[in-house]
Structure 1
């Protein structure tokens, strides 16, 4: 895709799943990578796929603003600039408000929304210099509610509207900010779900299957490319048609 080669991309939650797929795709398109995760061992394994001249890894807890500020500074010091930020780090703890704890909320909100705020806040001064872009990994759970995922839905809903607000604030300065909203994706976590749970998801997805991480990565890559130069403030469902339904059951 146009306009990615030679640029520097920072990807959080890059150790596995969607984040690792995004890293691979951006690397293939010619980007230099700052890969971030709190799982240093898995992150190192992912980074082995890449030329050491074009990648650096950092163990970072994105819920800690001091760590995030240092992360951005170290990345810019290594590669000289920052062009792309992908806020992909996320956690999910199921349960209703009554079933989950205050500590569960702090963990989910700390990573899923505070982390997006902190990474964006400290990256934006650099992105303004390069007229760069941000892509947030939100979720269809931020576009509508789910049973048994109150805290996750709240955090992802915040990411959805934060994406819109930041796009308004920084568009005239040349920084584009969008989000992808996946439904079920084949990752280490979801592959361990009982088959009957995955079957229920597939019944609600028009394409009848979960996404591969690479399919989400392709959309992220499009959004950070020059091919998407007039897209900003978009929360794009990457959901196989799950959100096309009005919620009524399939009867035929």
Structure 2
């Protein structure tokens, strides 16, 4: 199970998941909405001195406005655990570890490429498989307007909370996971202000595989709610509840 893997202090391993989401998303540049399918491939893994997490979203809304049409977006976050490097606990109280994060963001819609160096605090909280707070800088290394992409931006601040928890109701098991990311205000290469944005993506899933076949932690059915204030730095936002299906290898 991905969440147990990320929360456990022991052996190395990897967990791959495939997610399918379907909902009606807003194009922040036109204000129009369209139904889109999003297929996500993600993997969490552990190595001797840290962790690695990546995902790639493939989105298609079948439209013709240049947004979410057979596009992809991905993020990769390898970490270096100071606790594992020093072979002792780094932290105090509920902080169980401190890590160095080296992140990368990339996407096709606007030819995005960003470095996201920073740090992570991993927390030990009852009821959670994992709970992390990540912080760092978003350093734009895209080609900008000259390369046919979105205007390049100055470096900005990023803060992210990501979590995973499980609970049972009777004989049924549920998964509650997701993240919330804040990106600070910055300025683009045209001298225009890019507003701060807040993206929250909590997911609630029912372990349908366990309920119907007895095979736990493999197939989940539920909902992902997305709130995106000032989506992509544009005034306004997006609120959408999506069908969410997750298959875990």
Relative to the length of structure 1, the TM-score reads 0.31
Larger radius of gyration: 2
Q: Per residue, is there more helix in 1 or in 2?
A: 1
Relative to the length of structure 2, the TM-score reads 0.31
Q: Which has the higher contact order (CA 8 A, sep 6+)?
A: 1
Q: Per residue, is there more strand in 1 or in 2?
A: 2
